[in-house]
Structure 1
Amino acid sequence: MRILEVGCGGGLQLAKLAAMGCECLGIDISREVLARAENYFREIHRVCGQELDIKLIAADFSDVGQTELGGCFDLVFNFGVIEHILDDAARLRFLQKKYELTKDGGYIVSYVPNGSHPIRNKMKRMNLGGYNIPEIDYDQHLMEEEFKAIGAKQIIILPHNLFGYLLMEKKNLLIDWLKKLIYLGMQVVPWAFLPQDFCYRHAGSLIGIGRK
């Protein structure tokens, strides 16, 4: 399987996929983070002895095409990134390009923070996520609308990391342990037993999947 990650950063996701035998390509605008990714891959090879099939390109995604990327892919995905594109039209162009680089029958995937969980506004105001970069607030409806707009089929929007937002804010030892217990408990409850709206409301992140 041939996979492209847009905005691959330090390469954590690519390393996992390459370890399963996938042919991976990562693109990121920052040469600094790509250098960290290369160091990470070398360390994996040193410790595990596994050579990973990963190529990295330092470029703006909007400036590269099929020729530079060596053709189309079975899977094109982003882990974050797109929520920082504040302009609606620019965000759709980003998704459309992902779709165009996907083989017929292949998949596009987008992983974003959930913009509608209970402490989302507080998280942004107090910088609880660890960094403060402007981003839009995604919910399942916006994700689905954007996937439909680019022509994706068989669209699925999955709630992910239920109650993950509880772990962002530290108060005191007892409360933090209680929040951790709630979080861990929600990871083992089958989602089929929970109301769908509840899952979307309390998801820490959302995963959008579409097929070409």
Structure 2
Amino acid sequence: MTTPPSWDAVYAPGAAPPPWDIGRPQPAFVRLADRGLLSGRLLDSGCGTGENVLLAAARGAEATGVDISPQAIARARDKAAERGLTARFEVADALRLGQLGMTFDVLIDSGVFHIFDDADRERYVASLAAVLPPGGRCYLMCFSDRQPGTVGPRRVRQDELRAAFSDGWEVASIEADTFEVNPGIEFSPGTSAAAAQAWLASLVRRAG
């Protein structure tokens, strides 16, 4: 597997944190954890430096995180050791999750779905399905078309989410939410905010 330099470079020692690496779990996933929904065998697809995985591990989940960036995974492992938490972190491609040879009860995606073009979006949904048996649930948060401007990730409409997960999935809910981001990021001209508009989708794998 060849690591795209752009992904690994953003986590290089001494580099400024990328917008999404806020040094704590995203509040939306904290709320899910507070409801007991981040439990059992859990996988974070595109975990970055591991904050959401470590949140789940601290709440008792058998938590695994994967990311294509070795730098991100190294930092996630260091965090787990520093906090005395048991979590598994592996370098892996989110488009080839089946290669893990594992299945999970819960998947989480915090800001990965929206990075893909249409072709890779289809591959990504199939990759998620490869590790989530029927009845398993995926909590996915992506950039929303309610976010003004064009800077940053591709904006996603609700109907795009529903279409992407129309075959073999049930879209249980899609709710408006926000990503916390590092201050100073301008996603729309003339504005600088510590949050960006998002959708939080709850998706269930169907049998057959």
Q: Distance in 2 between matches of 1:13 and 1:4?
A: 10
TM-score, with normalisation over the residues of structure 1? 0.66
Matched, 1:69 2:108: no
Q: Distance in 2 between matches of 1:32 and 1:137?
A: 27
Cα drift, residue 206 of structure 1: 0.8
Q: Deviations over 1:150-204 (max 9, x none)?
A: 3211431111139x79x7679xxxxx9xx99xx9xxxxxxxxxxxxxxxxxxx72
Which residue of structure 2 lines up, in the alignment, with residue 17 of structure 1?
56
Aligned residue type for 2:104: F
Q: Deviations over 1:124-160 (max 9, x none)?
A: 1xxxxxxx5xx32112221122111x32114311111
Structure 2 alignment gaps of length 5 or more: 1-39, 187-191
Structure 1 alignment gaps of length 5 or more: 46-50, 125-131, 171-175, 184-202
Aligned residue type for 2:72: V
Q: Deviations over 1:44-92 (max 9, x none)?
A: 12xxxxx32x111112233442xx534211112211022111x212101
Aligned partner of 1:84 among 115, 118, 132: 115
Q: Distance in 2 between matches of 1:138 and 1:82?
A: 9
TM-score, with normalisation over the residues of structure 2? 0.67
Which residue of structure 2 lines up, in the alignment, with residue 211 of structure 1?
204
The answer to whether the 8 Å contact 1:5/1:76 transfers is: yes
Higher helix content, 1 or 2: 1
Q: Deviations over 1:89-132 (max 9, x none)?
A: 21011012102211221112211122323xx216x1xxxxxxx5
The answer to whether the 8 Å contact 1:144/1:155 transfers is: no
SS across alignment from 2:141: strand
Which residue of structure 2 lines up, in the alignment, with residue 159 of structure 1?
176
Aligned partner of 1:142 among 160, 177, 188: 160
Cα drift, residue 33 of structure 1: 0.8
Matched, 1:4 2:35: no
Matched, 1:114 2:144: yes
Stretches of 4+ aligned residues off by more than 4 angstroms: 167-170
The answer to whether the 8 Å contact 2:45/2:65 transfers is: yes
SS across alignment from 2:48: coil
Matched, 1:55 2:72: no
Matched, 1:94 2:127: no
SS across alignment from 1:158: strand
Q: Cα RMSD (Å) of the superposition? A: 2.8
Alignment coverage as a number of residue pairs: 161
